[in-house]
Amino acid sequence: MKFAKGNTGNNRRRWLYWVAGILPALVLWRFIKKVEKKNEPVKMLTEDGQLVEVDPRYLSKGQKIRPEEIHTWVKRKK
């Protein structure tokens, strides 16, 4: 098989340009999608067992809860 010199180089170059254009677009799309999710309210459980929605700006990054603490955290009404 014989290929024309100009044709194979153009096809490869065109494919490379498409990939180089699509990859940053996908990364940007994923970043924008994550930013939109950050502004949604978060559902959390209070100590007395009620489900409430909290604005994420009021949450701070703190320590993780240990598994032993999870079982005794909810105070049940007696």
Instruction: Note whether residue 49 is domain-resident.
Output: yes
The partner residues of 55 in beta bridges, in order of sequence, read none
Instruction: Note whether residue 55 is domain-resident.
Output: yes
Instruction: Note whether residue 58 is domain-resident.
Output: yes
Instruction: Note whether residue 65 is domain-resident.
Output: yes
* pLDDT score recorded for residue 6: 53
Task: Report yes or no: 53 and 39 within 8 Å, Cβ to Cβ.
Answer: no
pLDDT digits (tens, 9 = 90+) for 10-35: 788 888 888 888 988 888 888 777 66
Task: Report yes or no: 47 and 74 within 8 Å, Cβ to Cβ.
Answer: yes
The domain tally of the chain equals 1
Task: Tell whether the model's pLDDT for residue 3 goes beyond 60.
Answer: no
Could you list the residue range(s) of the whole structural domain that residue 9 is in? 5-73
The pTM of the whole model exceeds 0.75: no
Instruction: Note whether residue 78 is domain-resident.
Output: no
pLDDT digits (tens, 9 = 90+) for 34-76: 665 667 788 988 878 889 998 877 777 777 778 877 777 666 6
